């Protein structure tokens, strides 16, 4: 043991070495395996990005075809998983349902605990990426009181998800290509973000060498919390509360007086414009072309304009983060707010599982076991119950 330092929330401690995601918060740079997020969002697809994260390199056409095929044939879940989900209360939170269902998958694939066998663990990686949209869509349909829709494996990954969410007749669901692309871009942007709270949870739990379903369930649990995955929901509530442009000056004064925060602004690591927020802003336009403009967009744009010029925000380096605009898109897609975090968990699965894989193969990695600074009593004499 070296000298023990006190570092609550590990703000200054690197818990691992990683070659997956590079983030420079001062410069507003985000790269997956060295590729800038802007290029990936423009040219790539989520499944290609998932391959990149897991394998470290972009696939060639043959590799991408095989990867896509493998994921596509694993989209269905066991019928008992479906029954298990149907057992939830009618108003169960979709994120709670997802968390429990992913944990339950470990009991359907008991071999998953052979984490040092490359073939077995590769299969679990494929299964996790493949089944996450199915579980997410089942949770949504459950919440809406609608029958679950099975995957349609003729469709691409985001289109298949849209079909499982929105298909209402026996006819084949034809996803709008603009919505499909916007969803694909959102998935790319959310795929990984280095050692955030949920990824750290996956690594910590995975370091006990438990199966990957249980480790990913831990990540989902961390993401469920309002300080992590829940901020876009808060942005939407804030925009609804402001209601009209006329109310903005009063609201902003309240923020500057410290009464509340401008949700969707500021970031622990980014002290510049979050590069993902710029891309999402553009995706908004594409989605609204199909769904009609979300009236809250006008308020969001005005808030951003004011904040970027206001001394309070400039001095503190507060810029829009990824959550400022994503909620507007989800709402335009008629997603209940409870689904927002689920929509984050689907793509983050590829990041979690890549980080898990890297950790398992890292010879320096031991079981996560932080130390503490003990602040309690010492060496007290036990007092019998009748003497207390």
Q: What pairs with residue 36 in β-bridges? A: 31
Q: Is 348 near ligand CMC (CB under 6 A)?
A: no
Q: Is 323 near ligand CMC (CB under 6 A)?
A: yes
Contact range with ligand CMC by CB under 6 A, out of 24-32, 81-89, 254-262, 347-355: 254-262
Contact range with ligand CMC by CB under 6 A, out of 40-48, 118-126, 237-245, 262-270: 262-270
| Selected catalytic residue, list 267, 285, 310, 362 | 267
Give whole-number Cα distances, 341 to 40, 178, 229, 336, in Å. Answer: 22, 22, 5, 10
Which residue in 266, 275, 327, 351 binds ligand CMC (CB under 6 A)? 266
**Phi, psi dihedral angles at 31 (to 5 degrees):** -130, 140
- Considering the complex, what minimum distance in angstroms separates the CB of residue 133 from ligand CMC? 20
**How many Cβ atoms from other residues are within 10 Å of residue 212's Cβ?**
27
Q: Is 192 near ligand CMC (CB under 6 A)?
A: no
Classify residue 81 by burial, with Cβ atoms within 10 Å: 0-12, 13-18, 19+: buried
Q: What is the pattern of x (binds ligand CMC, CB under 6 A) and - over residues 299-318? A: -----------------x-x
Task: Mark whether 193 is an active-site residue.
Answer: no
Q: Contacts with ligand CMC: how many residues (CB under 6 A)?
A: 17
* Cβ closest to ligand CMC, residue 128 vs residue 322: 322
Q: Is 121 near ligand CMC (CB under 6 A)?
A: no
DSSP 35: E
* Cβ closest to ligand CMC, residue 316 vs residue 334: 316
Longest dimension (CA), the chain: 77
- SS3 string, 309-372, reads HCHHHHHCCCCECCHHHHHHHHHHCCCCHHHHHHHHHHHHHHHHHHHHHHHHHCCCCCCCCCCC
Measured in residues, the chain has a length of: 388
What does the binding site for ligand CMC look like in residue numbers (CB under 6 A)? Answer: 193, 196, 231, 255, 261-268, 316, 318, 321-323
């Amino acid at each position: 043991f070296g000298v023990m330092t006190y570092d609550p929330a590990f703000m200054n401690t690197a818990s691992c070495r990683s070659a997956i995601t590079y983030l420079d918060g001062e410069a507003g740079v985000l790269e997956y395996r060295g590729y800038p997020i802007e290029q990936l969002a423009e040219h790539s697809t989520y499944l290609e990005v998932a391959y990149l994260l897991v394998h470290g390199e972009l696939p060639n056409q043959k590799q991408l075809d095989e990867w896509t095929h493998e994921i596509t044939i694993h989209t269905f879940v066991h019928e008992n998983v479906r029954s298990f989900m149907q057992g939830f209360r009618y108003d169960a939170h979709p994120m709670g349902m997802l968390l429990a269902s992913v944990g339950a998958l470990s009991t359907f694939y008991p071999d998953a605990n052979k984490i040092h066998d490359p073939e077995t663990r590769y299969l679990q990686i494929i299964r996790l990426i493949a089944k996450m949209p199915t579980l997410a869509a089942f949770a949504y349909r459950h919440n809406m009181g609608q029958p679950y829709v099975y995957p349609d494996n003729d469709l691409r990954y985001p289109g298949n998800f849209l079909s499982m969410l929105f298909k209402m007749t026996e006819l084949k669901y034809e996803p709008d290509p603009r919505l499909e692309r916007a969803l694909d871009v959102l998935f790319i942007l959310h795929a990984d973000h280095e050692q955030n709270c949920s990824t750290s949870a996956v690594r910590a739990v995975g370091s006990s060498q438990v199966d990957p379903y249980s480790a990913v369930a831990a990540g989902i649990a961390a993401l469920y919390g309002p300080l992590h995955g829940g901020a876009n929901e808060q942005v939407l509530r804030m925009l609804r509360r402001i209601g009209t442009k006329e109310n903005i000056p009063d609201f902003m004064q309240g923020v500057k007086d410290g009464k509340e925060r401008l949700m969707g602004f500021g970031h622990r690591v980014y002290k510049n414009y979050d590069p993902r927020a710029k891309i999402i802003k553009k995706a908004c336009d594409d989605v609204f072309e199909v769904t009609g403009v979300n009236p809250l967009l006008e308020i969001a744009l005005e808030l951003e304009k004011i904040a970027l010029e206001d001394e309070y925000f400039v001095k503190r380096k507060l810029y829009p983060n990824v959550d400022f605009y994503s909620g507007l898109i989800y709402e335009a897609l008629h997603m209940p707010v409870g689904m927002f975090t689920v929509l984050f968990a689907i793509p983050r699965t590829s990041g979690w599982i890549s980080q898990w894989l890297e950790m398992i193969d890292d010879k320096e990695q031991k079981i996560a076991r932080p130390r503490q600074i003990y602040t309690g009593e010492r060496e007290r004499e036990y007092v019998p119950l009748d003497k207390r």
